Amino acid sequence: MTTQGQIIVCAPARPDRTAPPFGTLSPPVALEDLTGVLRSYRIGRPREIRPVAEGLLNRGYRITTGSGRYFLKCYVDHVTATRTAITAQHRASRDLHALGLPTPSPLPALGGRTVTSYGGRLFALYPWVAGRHRHGTELTCGQSAGLGELLGRIHGSLGKVCAPVPQPAGHGTAEPAETVLLVGELRRRIARTEAYGPFDALAEQRLAERLELIALYRHRRPAPESAPPTGWTHGDFHGLNLLYRGESLAAVLDWDKLGTRPQAEEAVRAATLIFNDRESGVLDLVRVRRYSQAYRACGAATAAQLAAAVHRVWWERLNDLWMLQWHYQRGDHRADPLFPASAGQLAWWCQEYEQVLDAFTN
């Protein structure tokens, strides 16, 4: 902990197991830039600035002033994080909050805008929401059902506060021949690795397994027209974006990926990220069932639509190698800790496909 100009600047309280220090993301925001941004808000002079070390993509800071605590978010995805896109996300979260959903609303700056530009970066300031993240296997069956109901309400409410969504003719699916080519490229990169280690050995093992699985299941590629209805979705609904206070869910965070997608697919994808064993990736199907039943009960999707979503998300995972692409093609290791469970879940899912389908649809 250091003091610069009477402002206490703290290191992260604890390193997150899924993300390395901020330096691997983009250059850190300088203290003078942080204080410059905060001068745009009526919150008083900052007393403490503490980096929040959770998540793979976002950079955030807990700000303490005489008027309270706040969360300052720095947008680092310069491709999608435009002022227009962020403003639309802010508007949607504010409107959902007005409907009674736990979506924190950004605070307006002195000019009334919720997006602040400073030093070539974009920022937003939120009230600090106290709470903690909880893994899905920590939730009771009742809380699992509550989470499914909440996501169903979010999907329904987004349809009320966002623009109407014309239904597309279909959504394309991954081409297995391209996945096979990518596997070959990744294996060649592993072969050229100088400091070969346990991660490389696991990656080689899982890539060989992936070729076998694709050969076995390539005839089950979903048709584009099989996609369930498209609607507005959160886009990144998982445990690190859910904050609990005691036994209750206090906030759904991080609306950066708000967009139109098949909604039932988000429900399935979220369950695979929330209700999994952190080491093996195996799903807790009891909790998944309660979650899915509640999602369907609020009218968010039919059993048939969820069945289609299960099949399409499974196919997506079968052909998805983004974690290894980050590692070997981009030299970005932030997703490395997620890979063992993710790869394990896919292999298990292929073996237990009918059990997973039943948990989502009955």
Give 221-279 pLDDT, tens digit per residue: 999 999 999 999 999 999 999 999 999 999 999 999 999 999 999 999 999 999 999 99
Same domain, 68 and 203: no
**Domains: count for the chain:** 2
Q: Can you read off the two tokens belonging to residue 249? A: 């869910």
Same domain, 236 and 337: yes
Same domain, 146 and 113: no
Is 296 within 8 Å of 263 (Cβ atoms)? no
- In this prediction, residues 133-157 reach a mean pLDDT of 97
pLDDT of residue 1: 45
Distance from C-alpha of 73 to C-alpha of 65, rounded to nearest angstrom:
16
Bridge-partner residues for 251, per DSSP? 243
Reduced DSSP (H G I as helix, E B as strand, rest coil) percent helix, strand, coil of the chain, to 5: 45, 15, 35
Q: Which regions of the chain does DSSP assign to beta strands (E)? A: 2-4, 7-9, 46-52, 59-65, 68-75, 116-118, 121-127, 230-233, 242-245, 248-252, 259-262
pLDDT of residue 14: 36
Q: Which of 202, 201, 185 is nearest to 279 (CA)?
A: 202
Q: Can you read off the two tokens belonging to residue 13? A: 């309280």
Q: For the ranges 138-142, 177-181, 246-250, which has the lowest average pLDDT?
A: 246-250
- Residue of 18 and 336 predicted with greater confidence: 336
Same domain, 200 and 333: yes
CATH classification of the domain holding 312: 3.90.1200.10
Same domain, 197 and 270: yes
302 CB neighbour count, 10 Å cutoff: 14
Q: How far is CA 165 from the centre of its chain?
A: 22
pLDDT of residue 6: 55
Q: Which of 256, 95, 233, 261 is nearest to 155 (CA)?
A: 233
pLDDT of residue 136: 95
Query: Per residue in 296-332, pLDDT tens?
Result: 999 999 999 999 999 999 999 999 999 999 999 999 9
pLDDT of residue 79: 59
Of the residues 59, 92, 127, which one is the last residue of a structural domain?
A: 127
Distance from C-alpha of 228 to C-alpha of 262, rounded to nearest angstrom:
6
pLDDT of residue 300: 96
Whether the predicted pLDDT of 22 surpasses 50:
no
Q: Which of 20, 53, 15 is nearest to 327 (CA)?
A: 20
Domain with 201, as residue range(s), is 136-176+182-361
Distance from C-alpha of 158 to C-alpha of 237, rounded to nearest angstrom:
14
β-pairing, 242-245 vs 230-233, is unpaired
Of the pLDDT bands very low, low, confident and very high (cuts 50, 70, 90), residue 29 is confident
Of the pLDDT bands very low, low, confident and very high (cuts 50, 70, 90), residue 7 is low
Distance from C-alpha of 335 to C-alpha of 323, rounded to nearest angstrom:
6
Same domain, 29 and 143: no
Mean of per-residue pLDDT scores for the chain: 91
- Residue of 185 and 246 predicted with greater confidence: 185
CATH classification of the domain holding 11: 3.30.200.20
pTM of the model: 0.90
Same domain, 104 and 143: no
Distance from C-alpha of 15 to C-alpha of 52, rounded to nearest angstrom:
9
Same domain, 341 and 237: yes
322 CB neighbour count, 10 Å cutoff: 12
pLDDT of residue 126: 96
Same domain, 52 and 21: yes
pLDDT of residue 76: 82
Of the residues 60, 93, 127, which one is the last residue of a structural domain?
A: 127
DSSP 8-state assignment for residue 3: E
Q: How far is CA 193 from the centre of its chain?
A: 30
Single-letter residue type at 360: F
Is 224 within 8 Å of 170 (Cβ atoms)? yes
Of the residues 127, 146, 168, which one is the last residue of a structural domain?
A: 127
Is 278 within 8 Å of 135 (Cβ atoms)? yes
Single-letter residue type at 293: Q
Q: Percent of the chain at pLDDT above 90?
A: 85
Query: Per residue in 44-102, pLDDT tens?
Result: 999 999 998 765 666 899 999 999 999 999 998 765 679 999 999 999 999 999 999 99
Of the pLDDT bands very low, low, confident and very high (cuts 50, 70, 90), residue 30 is confident
Same domain, 50 and 33: yes
Q: Can you read off the two tokens belonging to residue 3? A: 């003091």
Q: Which of 76, 82, 63 is nearest to 27 (CA)?
A: 76
Reduce the DSSP state of residue 230 to 3 states and report it: strand
Same domain, 73 and 97: yes
Q: How far is CA 190 from the centre of its chain?
A: 28
Same domain, 234 and 350: yes
For 225, counting Cβ atoms within 10 Å of its Cβ (0-12 exposed, 13-18 middle, 19+ buried), the class is exposed
Distance from C-alpha of 277 to C-alpha of 343, rounded to nearest angstrom:
12
Distance from C-alpha of 288 to C-alpha of 141, rounded to nearest angstrom:
9
Distance from C-alpha of 172 to C-alpha of 341, rounded to nearest angstrom:
26
